[in-house]
Amino acid sequence: MSEKNAKVLLASVILARSSSYVLQKIGLTNIDVFNLMGIRFLLAFIIMLLIFNKKLRYADKSSVISGLIVGTIYFVVMSFEVFSLKTCESSTTAFLENTAIVMVPLFEALLLKKMPLPRTIIGFLMAITGVALMTLRGASIYFSVGHILAIGAAATYAVAIIITDRVSKKANALVIGIVQLGTMGSLSVISSFLFETPHLPSEPMSWFAIVLLALVCSCFGFTLQPVAQKYTSAETTGLYCAFGPLGAGVLGWICLGEALSILALIGAVLILLSIVLVQKG
């Protein structure tokens, strides 16, 4: 896969996951956090297992171990995110979690002991400003437990992006993505039995949200991210996180008739310009 196609795929999977904030809010009306995550990710894993059973049957040990590691980290990310959604507006959680945009280059700079280029720093700051304009909508942020959890999601998301970048280049990226789903689902089910009373949703709307989360946000969104990251950099992935709030805003406008304010439109332009600036050359 060419780097250009990988970037298109990366933008697509992040856009696909942009609907997850609202869908998880709907799902949480009927079941608990780990219960929701367990059904969502195990359902997605079973679907991918049926489609790619031969590839998994002959998967190498390195790819499976990498999938277990990445899946465990993303389980922590999603736990922070979904618990945050229980007490925060989805737009606020989306903004705080996507501060991973600036955390990724900072973490990479620490790991490589090399400062990012000035153009890169400016681009990432433009992106986070654009995300703020698109998601906060004038709301003030006061730090509650939900906000702290969303920042925890951002920090672990940045770590997950960097680790996925490293392992996907040395192993089978598709196998990593599928094993990742199974790991997230298994850890969620175990946590649900330990801390909750697991049960199946009783409302059709909850099932609708969970099925969409499994098919769109997990089978496509989570599984193919390692495939895209195999041919791109961690910094590119961090920057492309900005597509999440951008996609959520556009979907809200198209599907729910939510008006896009002038500030939101400026934010969208900033996000697109930041990506052009950082990727130039």
pLDDT in tens, 19-41: 777 788 788 888 899 999 999 99
- pLDDT score, position 75: 96
pLDDT in tens, 160-173: 999 999 999 888 99
> What is the Cβ-side half-sphere exposure of residue 213, based on CA atoms within 13 angstroms?
27
- pLDDT score, position 143: 59
Q: How many domains does the chain have?
A: 1
Q: Name the token pair of 178.
A: 């599928």
Single pTM value for the model: 0.82
Burial of residue 164, with CB atoms counted within 10 A of its CB: 0-12 exposed, 13-18 middle, 19 or more buried: buried
DSSP 80-142: HHHHHHHHS-HHHHHHHHTTHHHHHHHHHHHHHT-PPPHHHHHHHHHHHHHHHHHHTTTPPP-
Would you say 124 and 273 are in contact if contact means Cβ atoms under 8 Å apart?
A: no
- Residues with pLDDT less than 70, the chain: 89-92, 134-143, 245-260, 275, 278-281
Phi/psi-derived region of residue 262, left when phi > 0, alpha when psi is between -120 and 50, beta in every other case: alpha
Burial of residue 214, with CB atoms counted within 10 A of its CB: 0-12 exposed, 13-18 middle, 19 or more buried: buried
Domain with 95 in it: 3-279
